[in-house]
Every structure is written in structure tokens, then in C-alpha cells.
Amino acid sequence: MGIDVYWKDERGEVLGTVEDNGVLSDLSHQFYRQSGSTCLRFIDPAGDACFNQLQRPLLVTEMRELLPAVSNARAHTHLQAIVDLLEGAVRSHTYIWFVGD
């Protein structure tokens, strides 16, 4: 079980992806601790979360701020891949999807 991350256009075409092999699911408990966050607290391993282009910059910032708290090298690399995807996902009329089980 994992939380895959997709960058999709308004027609649902996938423009980029970071597939999860359980790493992001394992980190999701840290998202819940971000109760003061605007975006991270809505990422759930059992559901889906969608963020639009207006929300994307804040999502990138919150993900970057989480990086120093992740000490496991594999998890850190996976989270960095998500940050890289988010930073490159700048086309209008596109969305970031976190898709749980």
C-alpha cells in the first residue's frame, strides 16, 4: 500500500508521477502532526487529495520544510523526488493528486 503522486492535466492525462512503494504511507503519520499546515494534513493513505496550481506553491513549501525531519535515507530520497515533481509542475490547468489505496 502506498500513496502515489500524480501531476495531471484537466483531462486527467498524467504528466508526471512518483509511485510509492510504501515510503510515503510510512511518512503520512508526520503529515497528521502538521496540524498547522494548510496542505499536508489532508494527505491520507486511505484516500485521495488533489491540489490545484494556487495551492501548489504552499504544498511545495510544506514538503520542503518536512525534508529535514526525515532521517531515513530512502524516505528522504522519495520525498525529494516528490518535491522535484511539485517544483516542475507549473503548467496552468494542472493538478497534483496524492492517491492512496
Q: With a cut of 80, say whether residue 78 has pLDDT above it.
A: yes
Q: Give the domain ranges of the chain.
A: 4-99
Q: With a cut of 80, say whether residue 25 has pLDDT above it.
A: no
Averaged pLDDT for residues 68-82? 92
Structure confidence at residue 64 as a pLDDT band (50, 70, 90): very high
**pLDDT on residue 27:** 77
Burial environment of residue 53 by CB neighbours within 10 A (0 to 12, 13 to 18, 19 or more): middle
Q: What is the pTM of this model?
A: 0.90
Dihedrals phi, psi of 40, to nearest 5 degrees: -55, -35
Averaged pLDDT for residues 7-25? 93
CA distance 15 to 56: 15
Structure confidence at residue 51 as a pLDDT band (50, 70, 90): very high
